[in-house]
Amino acid sequence: MTDMTKAHLTRRTPAVRTRYHHGDLANALTREATALAREGGPEAVVLREAARRVGVSATAAYRHFAAHDELLYAVKMQAHEDLADTMDEALRTTELPDDPGQAAIQRLLAVGRAYVRFALTEPGLFRTAFCRIAPACAGQESPLLEAFCENVGSFGILVKALDALVATGVLTPERRAGAEFPVWSGVHGVAQLLQDGPLACLPTEQRDDIRDSTLRLLLRGLTA
C-alpha cells in the first residue's frame, strides 16, 4: 500500500450510524465495495458485504443501485481513476533530464512503469478495472471506451506522453498516428502476464527486467 492510495479508500468506516438517513449512501457503498475489490478483486465485490460494512441493510443499496452490476461498475470506474492517479503521481515525482527529448522519453517510461506497478501492487483493483461486467458490448458504446476516446484517465496520460515525444522531435508525426493503442497493448500485456498470468511466479528481479525490456522494445519501435 503506497502513499498514492486514496485515504477515503483505506479508512474503514465503522458500521455504526447515528442518523436514520445516511446522507451519502451511494458513495459510502462505492467506497466500501472498492475496498472489497482491492482486497479480493471483482469477485469480492459483494453487495451485502458492502452494505454490512457501511452499517446498513442490504436492501438499502437498492435505493441507489438498480442491481449488483451497477455497484460493480462504479467500483470499476473508481479503479480506473486510481490507476490514472498512480500514473499522474509518477509523472509528478519523476526526475527528468534537461534535454527535452530525453525528458519526454523518461516520462513515457515512467508512465509505463507506473501502470505495471499499479497492476502488481494493487492486483485487486487492477483486475477490477479490466473485469467483464455483463455481456460485453451490450450497450454498443461503453462509457469506458467513450472516456478513452476523450483521452481521459490512464489513456489520456499515455496520449499526452506520446504527444510530448512528437513535440520534442523524438517521434515523427507519421509514427505518432494511432500509436497509443500498440503502446498501451504492450504495457497492458506485460502488466497482465506479470500480475495474473504465467509470469506471476517469477522472482521480482526477473519481472522488473521483463517490464523494462518491454518498455524499451516499445520505445525502440516508436523511434526507430
d(CA 55, CA 61) in angstroms, rounded, equals: 11
Instruction: Please work out, in degrees rounded to the nearest 5, the angle formed at the alpha carbon of residue 209 by the alpha carbons of 1 and 198.
Output: 75
> Where does this chain touch a second copy (CB under 8 A) — which range of 24-32, 65-73, 93-101, 142-150?
142-150
Residue 49 touches which member of a second copy, DNA, none, C-beta under 5-8 Å by kind: DNA
Work out which of 49, 70, 163, 196 binds a second copy, going by CB under 8 A. Answer: 196
d(CA 106, CA 97) in angstroms, rounded, equals: 8
Is 134 one of the binding residues for DNA (CB under 7 A)? no
Residues listed for the chain: 224
Is 17 one of the binding residues for a second copy (CB under 8 A)? no
Is 57 one of the binding residues for DNA (CB under 7 A)? yes
Q: Count the helix, strand and coil residues of the chain and give each as a percent rounded to the nearest 5.
A: 70, 0, 30
| C-alpha dist (Å) from residue 42 to 31, 38, 48, 101, 153 | 14, 8, 14, 40, 20
Is 46 one of the binding residues for a second copy (CB under 8 A)? no
Q: Pattern 159-188, binding to a second copy, x per CB under 8 A?
A: -------------------xx-xxxxxxxx
Which residues of the chain form contacts with DNA (CB under 7 A)? 17, 19-23, 25, 45-49, 55-60, 62-64, 67-69
